[in-house]
Copies of this chain bind each other. A is one copy, B any other.
């Protein structure tokens, strides 16, 4: 179960909830079969299967105890039939490859959604880490 996906905000909430339960089947179920997802280091996953497999790998390792906090989510409907949800998030409890704890970090996740029966699903997502105090990267 992913929770409700009746509204775009429900889908954004359900992504965070699935992450925090480390339920990657539920997380993947929020995406269309042909969705793409680019993560914070530019890894580009094509299709729900790749999205699920990649998240399963990291949730067995660096993200296994992590918790994602939804600081704010803004939903726009720029044209009929499209929702764009953008979430400012903070991640806590993640680990380095040597298993040492890492400090919290923040970022911005965009999720493009389209209607499906009974609600909305994600057709595209991209994630970016925030870096405070700079205009671009690297400085």
Contacts and interface: CB of A to CB of B under 8 A. Distances in A.
B110 A39 contact: no
Interface string A103-118: 0011110101010000
How many copies altogether? 2
Interface residues of A, number: 47
A97 B139 CA distance: 7
B39 A124 contact: no
A9 interface: no
A138 B131 CA distance: 11
A76 B43 CA distance: 18
Given A108-B42, A114-B78, A58 B124 contact: no
A7 interface: no
10 contacts: A32-B78, A34-B78, A39-B128, A40-B137, A41-B128, A42-B129, A79-B123, A94-B136, A96-B139, A112-B112
